[in-house]
Amino acid sequence: MKQSRNLQIISSVLFRSSSFFKEFATEPPAARSFLFSYGLPLMVLGAAGRMAVVLQQETLKGVALRADQLSGIFIITLTGYLLSVWLGAYLVGKLAKPFRSNPDNEKAMLLIIASYTPYMLAQPLAAITPAMGPVSILGLIYTVFLFGKGAGSLLETPAAKVAGFTFTSFFVIFGISFVAIRLLAGLFVF
């Protein structure tokens, strides 16, 4: 049985990140195509996992969530992830010049999507049981590591600037996601 292209990408990102980002830099796909064919299914999985985590947490507190609340959590989380990719790519492109990186917004978007892989995959795993919560944090740490690995190849960030660029970009990208999710959740769900 032939392995799907997305599973090949996931495997390459997680286990052969250096060679993946080097190959990715030489022949990058169109950002929009990669977003819809790889990134969006990954973000849907992450949003569903996040929704399941919230359901689990609220159930343990004795709070019953309605279907409309759960779907609201899913849509808000997915929107936050999409905003962090689109707006994050623009802002990472703007941050690139001070770090002597290539200010290419499309390559920044590709880097963000590929780097998000472990974090998005960790969300449904964290929903299995409350004891699996640390998996989410490990996914987040590996996401930051992957962003740093890919910044040198995709955005041509000098080795001396990779750490600063990675952490600055991390706070921007996850800040967008965090603020968007909290703001939308406050307005529409809770």
Give which of 41, 14, 28 is closest to 149, Cα–Cα.
14
**Residue 102 burial (C-beta neighbours within 10 Å; 0-12, 13-18, 19+):** middle
In the block, tokens 């004795």 appear at 62
The pLDDT, as a whole number, for residue 1 is 45
Within 10 Å of residue 131's Cβ, how many Cβ atoms?
A: 8
Domain ranges of the chain: 35-188
Please provide the size of the chain in residues: 190
Low-confidence ranges of the chain (pLDDT < 50): 1
Q: What is the pLDDT of residue 161?
A: 93
Instruction: Give dist(CA 89, CA 129) in Å, integer.
Output: 33
166 token code pair: 């990675």
Distance CA 53, CA 50 (A): 5
The pLDDT tens digits of the residues spanning 155-180 come to: 999 999 999 999 999 999 999 999 99
How far is 86 from 105, CA to CA, in rounded Å? Answer: 9
